[in-house]
Structure 1
Amino acid sequence: MKQELLDKWLNGTISTSEREELRQDRRFRDYEKMDEYLRFLELPTQNTADGLSKLKSRIQLSTAKVVRFPVYLKVAAAAAILILVGYFYLDSLPVTHSTLIAETEVIQLPDRSQVFLNENSELTYQDNLWDEQRSLELHGEAFFEVAEGRDFNVLTASGIVRVLGTKFNVLARGDNFDVSCFDGEVEVILDKEKIILAAGDKLTLTGGAMNRSNQYTLRPGWIYDESSFENTFLKHVIFELENVYSIKVVPMNVDMDLRYTGSFTNTNLEDALKTITLPLDITYSIEGNHVTLLGKD
């Protein structure tokens, strides 16, 4: 922040163009907010002549040189301190976005990066530190369109995804971890291992087993109300189905370690079940929000 411009602002001599230049620095916005809060403080008006008369009479009655601040100044100072402390406390709190089942949200981050948050997911980041560190935590699934700049980190329970500027999707739900790169490059950090994914690459980690594959779309399927899978355990496919439709699936005589490649619609349960079960020779029945999968004897 330019000190000479800040001095002009404090002295009330700053021009409109200089003020706009200062506003490019996020730290100056904090000063503006503090100034705005302090303007709410109103000190009580005083009769100066009456106050002077009382002061003279006190001086004549007392030989001790004790300076006492008026009560209203003490109250005003305490109020100002409380406002400033409250402001900095609130400003330090993380920003959290969360979605419910069958709900998605588009989020614009401070650097104009965009996040498409899938249903039943949560995203948390520190707004006041974003200029210094572009990091956020993800629980669930999100598609990112990252503006160019310094490192951009997505922290999950399974690993870290790091990029500079690109488009990618991250799914981190339970023990299912999936990263797809749609543009540019991303770096996936799993414990001590670092894996680079280029556009069109996909990394899947399920139950400790890692698999690399290719995807040829411009965005993840869920953006278009579809859930897509590549050589994925059936139990993880069913877990996602339960999450999308808020149902309970009970398998009977079904091998949940079967592998599934394909997609299902997020808008029609009957069609979704047909898409999953027909290739695997499984039948199903629906009763309310309970679905039973029936395998062959």
Structure 2
Amino acid sequence: MFNNDHIDALIAREIEGEITAAERAELEAWLQADEANREYYDALRETWDLAGEAPDAPEPDVMLNWQRFRQKMDAQVIPMRTATARKSWWRLAAAAVAIIAVAGLAFTLFSGGGATVITAEADKKEITLPDGSRVFLNRNSQISYQKGFAASHRKVELEGEAFFDVVPDAANPFIVSAGASRTQVLGTSFVIKAYEHKTIQLNVVTGKVAFSGQQGHKDPLVLTAGNAAILQNREPRRIQDGDPNFMAWKENRLHFSNIPLNNTLSTVEEYFSVRFIVDDPSILTLTYTGTFDHPTLREVLDVIGTAAHVTFTEEEKGVYRISR
């Protein structure tokens, strides 16, 4: 995970021509990680060029540069002069503050303006949307919505996993775009899992939802409480999902009832973001029954290890080998 302040400093050092080879490699990795990072970078570079047209002074005039930026955007002037590199650290810091402040506004314009983005990184997060609907974000997940939410629309975009508890409003449907899927409801609660490179899955907890592909050709699949579906080949498909732990991350509870250890360990892997290596495949056919409330990884491994007569050995951080 990259720190924004650190990235801003790397961009400023690159513009100044003072970036090291290691720093350049780090910056390039950040640029390749997300297209939004490239847009942010381009906005900073463009605004730096604008700032370079102002007289060389200890304190850049941010508002003046912003006005010049708007004038150039309105006139659709593309060529811009690169600012002369400054070698003193205090000038670098002052210039960085200026371009970050201005580029923040520019980036908002470039990304459509008025967008609200809420991210849960290391910790889960609970959000109340402007219409009163509640969203519980799992770790490494994000939702966003545009200006006018609740007043003119109720549309959100999801990356990752979230539980939605939607306030009823028959005149204004609640729509979630997640990956290649689209979920529409009037008032209900449900869980969507839409991590990159993984199958998109919907579990309905209460009420009724319409689940479809963004570019699918079939009618939406209508699902009621207790039912689940996945998106397969851009089309929704109903599944028999008997997993009692699909909301374990939200409820902080793991429950297993005579479940093969293969499935048990997969659930534990996802819940704690760890990985297991098994020496003897026959271990995976063993079954386990048990419940954990607000579990810790150590507790779960100790209890399962004792019940199944297996040993968990940590080989490296987050990686455990299982043996008899």
The TM-score range, normalised by the shorter chain, is: 0.5 to 0.7
Structure 1: state its 5+ residue gaps. Answer: 1-74
CA contact (8 A) 1:202 1:215 kept: no
Q: For residues 35-56 of structure 1, give each alpha carbon's deviation from its aligned partner in whole angstroms, at most 9, with x where no partner exists.
A: xxxxxxxxxxxxxxxxxxxxxx
* Structure 1 pair 256–202 and aligned structure 2 pair: CA distance change class (3 A): farther
Question: 1:254 is matched with which residue?
Answer: 281
Within-5 A mapping of 1:19-38: none
Please say if 1:170 is aligned against 2:192: yes
Structure 1-normalised TM-score?
Answer: 0.54
Equivalent position SS for 2:179: coil
Q: For residues 72-123 of structure 1, give each alpha carbon's deviation from its aligned partner in whole angstroms, at most 9, with x where no partner exists.
A: xxx8xx69x78xx95983981422212223x111111121111011222111
Q: Which structure: larger Rg?
A: 1
Question: 2:133 is matched with which residue?
Answer: 113
Out of 156, 176, 181, which is 2:204 matched to? 181
Once the 2 structures are TM-superposed, how far is the Cα of residue 245 of structure 1 from its aligned partner? Answer: 2.5
Structure 2: state its 5+ residue gaps. Answer: 1-63, 75-104
Question: 1:13 is matched with which residue?
Answer: none
Once the 2 structures are TM-superposed, how far is the Cα of residue 146 of structure 1 from its aligned partner? Answer: 0.7
Question: 1:293 is matched with which residue?
Answer: 322
Query: Which amino acid is 2:322 matched to?
Result: L
Within-5 A mapping of 1:213-232: 213=241, 220-227=247-254
* Structure 1 pair 256–169 and aligned structure 2 pair: CA distance change class (3 A): farther
Once the 2 structures are TM-superposed, how far is the Cα of residue 233 of structure 1 from its aligned partner? Answer: 9.9
Once the 2 structures are TM-superposed, how far is the Cα of residue 163 of structure 1 from its aligned partner? Answer: 0.5
Query: Which amino acid is 2:228 matched to?
Result: K
Please say if 1:283 is aligned against 2:305: no
Please say if 1:211 is aligned against 2:233: no
Measured on the aligned residues, the alpha-carbon RMSD in Å equals 4.7
Q: Distance in 2 between matches of 1:210 and 1:277?
A: 35
Q: For residues 6-52 of structure 1, give each alpha carbon's deviation from its aligned partner in whole angstroms, at most 9, with x where no partner exists.
A: xxxxxxxxxxxxxxxxxxxxxxxxxxxxxxxxxxxxxxxxxxxxxxx
CA contact (8 A) 2:194 2:200 kept: yes
- Structure having the higher strand fraction is 1
Question: 2:298 is matched with which residue?
Answer: 270
**Greater shift in the superposed pair: 207-216 or 149-158:** 207-216
Please say if 1:144 is aligned against 2:173: no
Q: Distance in 1 between matches of 2:228 and 2:303?
A: 22
Query: Which amino acid is 1:225 matched to?
Result: N
Name the count of aligned residue pairs.
Answer: 217
Once the 2 structures are TM-superposed, how far is the Cα of residue 216 of structure 1 from its aligned partner? Answer: 8.8
Query: Which amino acid is 2:211 matched to?
Result: V
* Structure 1 pair 255–164 and aligned structure 2 pair: CA distance change class (3 A): farther
CA contact (8 A) 2:221 2:237 kept: no
Identity across aligned pairs (percent)?
24
Q: Distance in 2 between matches of 1:98 and 1:189?
A: 25
Equivalent position SS for 1:169: strand
